[in-house]
Amino acid sequence: MTVKTSIQGFPGIGEQREWKRTLESFWRNEINNNEFEKKMQTIRLSRLNKLKQSGLDYIPVGDFSCYDHMLDMAVMFNMIPKRFASAGEAGSLDTYFAMARGTKESGACEMTKWFNTNYHYIVPEIEEAWIPKVTYNKPLAEFKEAEEKTGIKGKPVLVGPYTLLKVSKGYPEEQFQNYLDILVTLYAKVIGELTEAGAEIIQMDEPALVYSLDDKEMDIVEKVYQDIHGLVPGAGLLLQTYFESITDLKRLAHFPVKGIGIDLVHDQGNNAVQLKEFKLPEDKILALGVIDGRNVWKTDLETADALTAYLRSELSAKQEIWLQPSCSLLHVPVSLKHETKLSSALQNGLAFAEEKLQELQLLKYQEKTTSWKAHQEKLHDFRRRYQNFTQVEVRKAKRNHSFEERFPLQQKKWDLPLLPTTTIGSFPQTLDMRRARTAFRRGEMDQGQYDRLVKKKIDRWIKLQEDIGLDVLVHGEFERNDMVEFFGEKLDGFAVTENGWVQSYGSRCVKPPVIYSDVKFNRPMTVKETAYAGAQTSRPVKGMLTGPVTILNWSFERRDISREQTAFQIAEALQPELKALEDNNIEMIQVDEPALREGLPLKKEDHAYYLDWAVNAFRAVSEQVQPTTQVHTHMCYSEFNDIMSAISAMDADVISIETSRSHGEIIEVFEENVYDKGIGLGVYDIHSPRIPPAEEMRDIILQSLRVLPPKLFWINPDCGLKTRTEEETIAALANMQSAAEYCREVVAAEKK
């Protein structure tokens, strides 16, 4: 039996986020197209050489992106919406970034989460006028570049046709098969050129195959790969799945492909069980995802080795086995070597992307070498020191008063106008503030100096919000680095890294904190700045917290206890914070849960259990507040039709939901589902530098009011504003306020 190593993908941001700096320099016109492409090539080749030195047998190429891998696929297949026709040539950087970020004339393409991860992808749009063609064979170009510049004969990576179409939008559902047939011909061209150029294995990512697929859907997928095989019979395709188990692995294993890649970490044990139930064809490569590609914990080599040995005992001696991570390493930081402040004992339990490459090599040779033993000793030392756990009682949480009882009390208390305006929480994080935060962390600025700067920022933005005319204000979150990392720094049981950056969307990178022990409240976290802001204005100021499910989903969580237990621990740790805010006269509090929908399991049969504990954890945070305290929440992305009952069950007084990039499609959800609590549908896209005109926002508001009652409707952007410039923010909010005032007049006139 032949054992080899491979990975599905590797972080592209660089050890010091040089990729991010290159992107943002280009957007600021500090470098031209040629300089940009040269810098990106340098980063790309440096990354390939690192992988070559690691000893991997199969190195991915084509997984590096200048913005997003799904945007790459859309542009390659000419899925360029006609609203970007004036941006430039089909394959130009101008068109590429116009789709990602929008233009003055056109809104950006929709962006949403990649399955159940915190990575955002650009949603491909298929319009009726689409002219199918291959504009540029990107995987081929990078395959040739790797061979010419580094001597690597790489493994090209493509998102497969079934997944590409499943996550695209714009086409009638009844046309799915028609568009899939068209895509097959385009893929055949790309794959044929790769095969002709010498690519022996081509990785076809099909994560959509881990959904709960019935026989009819499996028939569709099988036909795709039969058709590709018929068009390019010599292609060596490896059908790669991840994030969950395959519903019918036996059937998939007999598709006309060279190999199958499966996740043995996040499959709940189902893939391994299925492998024991049938005889895998001995000419099939089996790529086993035995190392966690989504989390930062060291692999227990003994456990992983025992699992592979268990499976290999059932396989043919002629079988070729690959050892891999469970998915692309895109979802973890690059390297532990830049972490100088984490204790050595804690680092003993961690492995970032580079360290996971080393683990693969240890598993490949299976020899209990000094390196193997040292790895295991460090892991066991970490577990002895840190992985204690206090069982919490997960009780059913609820507020003491219903929304129907709370609503009139809150209306009387706040006396807000019809269609009140507010923002989601954060304001621009300018360069001076980011530098001050760095200086404060390094001890180059004392607490008093730092607090004075934060107060100065709060003063300015309270005044700006008042001048714009907003009804409910926020303090701006100038003291915060990231909405999850900030709380990770202040709650017990979390560790925060120095350089543990992970790409979230575009050039936006985050540092997910690491949950390594019991989560507990330590001291008030948000009161000082919020109470100060409240004292500067007569208008309501919202307190801003991140909710327990989002903190869990956007952290590197523990794997030794249930997610429900961790979420409830976090919820109980946040309860004292709401009490402290109330005690300081902050009685409008937003508990953000942008990741609640994202965490929905990929298997339908697991949805109910997840939603039950996730909603319960959210309710636990606010169950003890007064009925006059108005609890807000915020959720990202518009695919809510399947969880509307859960959203209502959260029992928030006001929920704000993103709608701008989805072009108001969520409004159709409310035509079919009654929502009886306060709601704000985000009226403009904060992920784009584009400033939408007031007329555009008016249309969204008036369209929304066709299905939602005005007395419950709020007006807000679709997310926080920290990534925008001050000029963009002020102009867009002024347009939003103008739109709100116009719509108030329309509603008032209709009542007469």
C-beta of residue 299 within 8 angstroms of C-beta of residue 291: yes
What is the Cα–Cα distance from 523 to 519, expressed in whole angstroms?
13
Task: Examine the domain organization and report whether 445 and 370 are in the same domain.
Answer: no
Structural domain that includes position 678:
403-751
In tens, the pLDDT along 588-626 reads 999 999 899 888 999 999 999 999 999 999 999 999 999
Q: Which residues are annotated as a binding site for L-homocysteine?
A: 424-426, 477, 592
Note whether residue 442 is domain-resident.
Answer: yes
In tens, the pLDDT along 665-712 reads 667 777 777 889 999 988 888 878 889 999 999 999 999 898 899 999
In tens, the pLDDT along 142-158 reads 999 999 999 999 999 99
In tens, the pLDDT along 629-641 reads 999 999 875 566 6
Task: Examine the domain organization and report whether 189 and 50 are in the same domain.
Answer: yes
Looking at residue 20, what is its pLDDT?
A: 97
Task: Examine the domain organization and report whether 131 and 68 are in the same domain.
Answer: yes
Q: What is the pTM (predicted TM-score) of this model?
A: 0.92
Note whether residue 155 is domain-resident.
Answer: yes
What is the Cα–Cα distance from 617 to 601, expressed in whole angstroms?
17
Looking at residue 642, what is its pLDDT?
A: 73
Mean confidence (pLDDT) of the chain: 94
Which of 386, 414, 444 lies at the terminal end of a domain, its last residue?
386
Task: Examine the domain organization and report whether 374 and 416 are in the same domain.
Answer: no
Task: Examine the domain organization and report whether 354 and 411 are in the same domain.
Answer: no
Report how many domains make up the chain. Answer: 2
Total residues belonging to the chain: 752
Task: Examine the domain organization and report whether 352 and 453 are in the same domain.
Answer: no
Strand partners, 158: 204
Which of 360, 386, 412 lies at the terminal end of a domain, its last residue?
386
Task: Examine the domain organization and report whether 225 and 260 are in the same domain.
Answer: yes
What is the Cα–Cα distance from 383 to 395, expressed in whole angstroms?
28
Note whether residue 77 is domain-resident.
Answer: yes
- Answer with the residue of higher pLDDT: 279 or 187: 187
Looking at residue 638, what is its pLDDT?
A: 53
Task: Examine the domain organization and report whether 9 and 54 are in the same domain.
Answer: yes
Q: Which residues are annotated as a binding site?
A: 17-20, 113, 118, 424-426, 477, 508-509, 554, 592, 598, 634, 636, 658, 719
The catalytic position among 69, 120, 375, 687 is 687
Amino acid letter, 363:
L
What is the Cα–Cα distance from 12 to 377, expressed in whole angstroms?
31
Note whether residue 393 is domain-resident.
Answer: no
In tens, the pLDDT along 224-240 reads 999 999 999 999 999 99
Looking at residue 675, what is its pLDDT?
A: 86
In tens, the pLDDT along 9-63 reads 999 999 999 999 999 999 999 999 999 999 999 999 999 999 999 999 999 999 9
Q: Pick the range with the lowest mean pLDDT from 316-325, 600-609, 642-651.
A: 642-651
C-beta of residue 104 within 8 angstroms of C-beta of residue 95: no
What is the Cα–Cα distance from 174 to 179, expressed in whole angstroms?
10
Looking at residue 663, what is its pLDDT?
A: 52
Tell me how crowded residue 402 is: count the other CB atoms within 10 A of its CB.
11
64: left (phi over 0), alpha (psi -120 to 50) or beta: beta
In tens, the pLDDT along 401-453 reads 999 999 999 999 999 999 999 999 999 988 899 899 889 988 999 999 999 99
Note whether residue 398 is domain-resident.
Answer: no
CATH of the domain at 20: 3.20.20.210
Residue 687 among the catalytic residues: yes
Q: Which residue has the tokens 């294993």?
A: 253
Note whether residue 396 is domain-resident.
Answer: no
Helix, strand, coil share of the chain (percent; to 5): 45, 15, 40
pLDDT at residue 658 greater than cutoff 80 = no
Looking at residue 640, what is its pLDDT?
A: 67
Question: For the chain, how many helices (H) and strands (E)?
Answer: 26, 20
Strand partners, 323: 5, 288
What is the Cα–Cα distance from 314 to 331, expressed in whole angstroms?
32
Grade residue 207 by pLDDT with cuts at 50, 70 and 90: very high
pLDDT at residue 333 greater than cutoff 70 = yes
Task: Examine the domain organization and report whether 360 and 491 are in the same domain.
Answer: no
What is the Cα–Cα distance from 673 to 73, expressed in whole angstroms?
34
For residues 197-210, give the mean pLDDT.
98
pLDDT at residue 318 greater than cutoff 90 = no
C-beta of residue 295 within 8 angstroms of C-beta of residue 559: yes
Close Cβ partners of 456 (under 8 Å, ≥ 6 residues apart): none
Instruction: Please compute Rg for the chain using Cα positions.
Output: 26
Looking at residue 368, what is its pLDDT?
A: 78
Which of 331, 357, 386 lies at the terminal end of a domain, its last residue?
386
Looking at residue 665, what is its pLDDT?
A: 65
Grade residue 657 by pLDDT with cuts at 50, 70 and 90: confident
Task: Examine the domain organization and report whether 439 and 322 are in the same domain.
Answer: no
Of the candidates 648, 654, 722, 653, which has an alpha carbon nearest to the alpha carbon of residue 682? 654
Looking at residue 662, what is its pLDDT?
A: 59
In tens, the pLDDT along 705-742 reads 988 999 999 999 988 999 899 999 999 999 999 999 99
Q: Pseudo-torsion of CA 241, 191, 7, 5, nearest 10°?
A: 110
Task: Examine the domain organization and report whether 281 and 366 are in the same domain.
Answer: yes
Strand partners, 473: 541
For residues 267-282, give the mean pLDDT.
92
3-class DSSP assignment, residue 527? helix
Q: Which residue has the tokens 């002024």?
A: 734
Task: Examine the domain organization and report whether 100 and 175 are in the same domain.
Answer: yes
In tens, the pLDDT along 53-70 reads 999 999 999 999 999 999
Looking at residue 366, what is its pLDDT?
A: 76
What is the Cα–Cα distance from 735 to 729, expressed in whole angstroms?
10
